[in-house]
């Protein structure tokens, strides 16, 4: 399966054009949207983005997407994956939007709430013997692709704890614009990618092998590449 992953459009028309052009270029089977289509609205821009997507999409709202526009992620071909688990083409996708408490933005949650809400979803998702789990998160796990210019790690500690405990084969995130990149953790047998902000023409191209092969050898059968 071919996937295009993007995040942090933040009302940028050039960012939207970047996504539409890459959809035409790569012709993915699935689009992952890691949140922050807008910066505190407006809803009209969010709808404009979603309405122009013509492939299956899974998305989660970002911390800058106010609650009154979270429903845009359930429009058109998109499904809002926040707090949910969905099987798609032999893979199990789990989503979590917003961020940990840090910036006083519209969609933030205490770490304890994130842990209590997301753990049951991930726990149930990882019980399957056949479906590899892919986590779609707006906020990166703490310690992975989450360093801001001050040098501080600002990712979500709850998501880091859950990634370490349940080991999704792939975690796709955004949020920290300056920390785009790919981490391949050979010890834990997992891959984490921060797509970088679409508003600055950044994203990721992902290719997944057959589910049963990805499940047991993700480092061999998942290919991730940052694009611009």
Condensed to tens digits (0 to 9), the pLDDT of residues 66-78 reads 999 999 999 999 9
**pLDDT over threshold 80, residue 128:** no
- Mean pLDDT over 193-207 rounds to 98
pLDDT at 81 over 80: yes
CB of 196 within 8 A of CB of 7? Answer: yes
E strand spans, the chain = 2-6, 30-33, 57-59, 78-80, 85-88, 91-96, 99-100, 108-109, 133-137, 170-173, 181-185, 190-194, 203-208, 222-227
Q: Which pLDDT band holds residue 109 (cuts at 50, 70, 90)? A: very high
Give 103's pLDDT tier (boundaries 50, 70, 90). confident
Q: Identify the pLDDT of residue 129.
A: 73
Place of tokens 């996708």: 93
Q: What is the mean pLDDT of residues 142-158?
A: 96
Indicate whether 17 pLDDT > 80: yes
Structural domains of the chain, ranges and CATH numbers in brackets: 2-227 (3.60.21.10)
State the average pLDDT over residues 172-187: 96
């Amino acid at each position: 399966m071919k996937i295009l992953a993007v995040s942090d459009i933040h009302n940028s028309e050039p960012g939207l054009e970047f996504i539409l052009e890459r959809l035409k270029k790569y012709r993915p089977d699935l689009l992952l949207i890691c949140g922050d289509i807008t910066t505190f609205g407006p809803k009209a821009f969010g709808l404009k983005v979603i309405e122009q997507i013509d492939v299956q999409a899974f998305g989660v709202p970002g911390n800058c997407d106010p609650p009154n526009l979270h429903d845009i992620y359930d429009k058109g071909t998109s499904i809002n994956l926040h707090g949910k688990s969905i099987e798609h083409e032999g893979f199990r996708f789990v989503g979590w939007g917003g961020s940990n408490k840090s910036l006083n933005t519209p969609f933030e949650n205490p770490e304890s709430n994130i842990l209590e809400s997301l753990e049951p979803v991930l726990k149930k998702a990882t019980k399957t013997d056949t479906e590899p789990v892919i986590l779609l998160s707006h906020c990166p796990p703490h310690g992975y692709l989450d360093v801001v210019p001050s040098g501080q790690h600002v990712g979500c500690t709850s998501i880091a704890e859950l990634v370490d405990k349940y080991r999704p084969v792939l975690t796709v995130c955004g949020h920290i614009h300056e920390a785009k990149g790919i981490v391949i953790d050979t010890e834990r047998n997992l891959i984490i990618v921060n797509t970088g902000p679409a508003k600055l023409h950044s994203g990721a191209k992902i290719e997944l092998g057959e589910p049963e092969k990805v499940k047991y050898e993700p480092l061999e059968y998942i290919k991730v590449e940052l694009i611009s």
